[in-house]
Structure 1
Amino acid sequence: MQGNQVLAFRMQLKPGFEAEYRKRHDEIWPELASLLRDAGILEYYIFLDEVTLALFAFQKLGENPQTGQLSSLPIMKKWWDHMADIMEVNEDNSPKVISCPEVFRL
């Protein structure tokens, strides 16, 4: 992954919404997917711990990512509103995110 940045973080799903979370991501809006790619996200994975309902996200970013602007864009805010009922969110409906610093790489 030389030359690319890696970002990892954790979010929290509300109980009983595992299937709905998967469904909404299976149906991700094409304009949102394009926006994420255009911002420099090369790969984006989200994993679910089915015991704790913790969501672990991993993003591989390109050389000059522009992800800092995403939170101010209307489509991103619309997605947050769409997801707010099934996960823990902040007052603006953005997901509560806990950064996961890298401690090992092979």
Structure 2
Amino acid sequence: MRQVSQASWEPPAHGPCPQCGGSGTFQGVFHRSPCAHCHGTGYAADDGEALPLEDLIIMISRRRDHWRRKYALMMQMPGVQDAVANHAAAQEEQALGYSSGRYQGD
């Protein structure tokens, strides 16, 4: 496995996987499973070949970090935490079933 510094790494030219159309899943007749060509990521090189796992790991971890930062900034905005708490309370009230207990489906 090659050693790559994330500071000097540039993402390879990539696009959607030709096998799964970028969804990352393979739809069988009776099941869904991760796409074997793109390792379930939905990304492939521009020529249609699978990207190396080292590049996929760095790409996905960077995107994860980006969205975590966006989420943290959003949660700092005024009123967002109250809205999330109100939504969670409304969902809990809707989940109450017979006898004010949580409906378990039996």
Q: Which has the larger strand fraction?
A: 1
Superposition TM-score, scaled by structure 2 size = 0.24
Write 1 or 2 for the structure with the bigger share of helix. 2
TM-score, normalization: structure 1?
A: 0.24
Larger RCO: Structure 1 or Structure 2 (Cα < 8 Å, ≥ 6 residues apart)?
1
Q: Determine which structure has more spread, i.e. the larger CA radius of gyration.
A: 2
